[in-house]
Structure 1
Amino acid sequence: MSISEKIKKYKEDLPKDVDLVAVSKTKPNEDLMEAYDAGQRIFGENKIQEMTDKHEALPKDIEWHMIGHVQSNKVKYMAPYVNLVHAVHKLKLLKEINKRAKEENRVINCLLQLKIAEEDSKYGMGADEALKILNSEAYKEMENVKIVGLMGMATLTEDEQKIDSEFAYLKVKMDDFSKEFPELTILSMGMSGDYQIAIKNGSTMLRIGSSIFGERNYN
């Protein structure tokens, strides 16, 4: 199946309230354009330099999402154009995004990344820390970032029950938080291998890469 056929199939199969982020990291611009021509407008990247190069080369109505771990010293390069930062894992990073967004006279939407997997390689904060940020004076004073939801990555495992319980936990936290903070509307969870479990648990945004574009080339 071609990239465009896969995009069309996802758009037909996914619930209407679930957004598809096509994760295009390591993929050439031709592949992104094939997805674009099939109607895809949201693309996710995990390296700021690669995303910036693609942003400069590709159509300007593309919505760029930074889905990977963000280094503070690179924020300035994406601040002029990024639409959503998925993986804010500490207050210090949020402050840097706010500072750089202010320089660009923009407001950048962000998700707080909760650590729901057991793997040490996964970034993220505890739910208590996330709540502390949302309630903090520091965040309330920021005029150029807006926290609009939560993001999480499940454990990389064949155990679907484990994935299910991790996503269910994130959904409970989302529901708890959004009672106090109704502006939290995006729940970004689910990737190529586990997106159906994520949808079942209330995900509103999927990050799908390899099952659209094929295996990544890290050479």
Structure 2
Amino acid sequence: MGHIEKNLDRLQQEIHAAAHRSGRKPEEVRLIAVTKNVSIASIEEAIAAGVTTVGENRVQELKNKIHQIHTPVQWHMIGTLQSNKVKYIYDKVDLIHSLDRISLAMAIQKYARLLGRPISCLVEVNVAQEDSKEGLKVEEVPAFLRQVSQLEGIAVQGLMTMAPYTEKPEEVRWVFQRLRELSHEVTESNFNGVTMKELSMGMSNDFKIAVEEGSTMVRVGTAIFGEP
């Protein structure tokens, strides 16, 4: 068993344990393998070991890798997406995690018309209001979703956040709690075309806390592939 397969096995065990601790079913949590700066060979090894969803941060890297990897997997765009780059990925990804402004929503709407179906997105929320990160403030989300709900080409399926990096993940539990609370608030608002079935939160250093707080998607790179 190679180190990637070993890492994936350990991660799945830790996800299962975290889900059980919070009274959840492990199958409610999807592992997204983050492949920024990861070689094609390593990605293929991870897919052979059971990875079914791959997340990329950069449009160009996603385009290149999709052409080189022929095993069927889901591709997610998890990084910041510029409006003028939507045209390169709209028909290649199953989910965009980083919707955070109306100009981007309008660009996605344009290409959804070409597809003939809505494009699935998550709204990115900067819960901790870090200057170094993108995303809406918590209080901006309802008004933003009210606007997005008027666009037929976007299917909002949930929320995404990144917690501040810390050596003590317990310190950022509140970030995941607040995103979960926000998802409940949005559900009660009953916006057209908006569901809250997904919470994309948790990375290599804090995914166990995120799962305990309701994450349905954890975005893990280093804990699978090691340092790039």
Fold shared, TM-score > 0.5 on shorter chain: yes
- Say if 1:160 and 1:27 are closer, same or farther in 2 by CA, change over 3 A: closer
Q: 2:220 aligns with which of 208, 213, 217?
A: 208
Q: Which residue of the partner structure matches residue 169 of structure 1?
A: 178
* 2:30 maps to 1:29: no
Paired residues of 1:178 and 1:185 also in contact (CA < 8 A)? no
**Where does structure 2 lack aligned partners over 5 or more consecutive residues?**
16-25
Q: 1:185 aligns with which of 192, 197, 204?
A: 197
- Kindly report the root-mean-square deviation, in angstroms, between the aligned alpha carbons of the 2 structures: 1.7
Q: Deviations over 1:15-60 (max 9, x none)?
A: 2210100001111111111011112110000001110111112125
Paired residues of 2:157 and 2:197 also in contact (CA < 8 A)? yes
State percent identity of aligned pairs.
36
Q: Which residue of the partner structure matches residue 8 of structure 1?
A: 9
Q: Which residue of the partner structure matches residue 59 of structure 1?
A: 70
- Say if 1:204 and 1:64 are closer, same or farther in 2 by CA, change over 3 A: same
SS at match of 1:65: strand
Q: Deviations over 1:112-133 (max 9, x none)?
A: 1111124210111022322112
Q: Per-residue deviation at 1:161?
A: 4.2
SS at match of 2:85: helix
Aligned pairs (5 A) from 1:26-175 = 26-59=37-70, 61-136=72-147, 139-175=148-184
Paired residues of 2:78 and 2:98 also in contact (CA < 8 A)? yes
SS at match of 1:146: strand
Paired residues of 1:164 and 1:201 also in contact (CA < 8 A)? yes
Paired residues of 2:125 and 2:159 also in contact (CA < 8 A)? yes
Q: TM-score, normalised by structure 2?
A: 0.88
The separation in 2 between residues aligned to 1:67 and 1:167, in whole angstroms, is 17
**Where does structure 1 lack aligned partners over 5 or more consecutive residues?**
none
SS at match of 1:183: strand
Paired residues of 1:113 and 1:125 also in contact (CA < 8 A)? yes
The separation in 1 between residues aligned to 2:180 and 2:131, in whole angstroms, is 22
Q: Which amino acid aligns with 2:131?
A: D
Paired residues of 1:99 and 1:144 also in contact (CA < 8 A)? yes
Q: Deviations over 1:136-190 (max 9, x none)?
A: 2xx3342222100000111112343430111111111112112334721100000
Number of aligned residue pairs: 214
The separation in 1 between residues aligned to 2:92 and 2:153, in whole angstroms, is 13
Q: TM-score, normalised by structure 1?
A: 0.91
88-97 or 104-113, larger mean C-alpha shift? 104-113
SS at match of 1:184: strand
Paired residues of 2:169 and 2:205 also in contact (CA < 8 A)? no
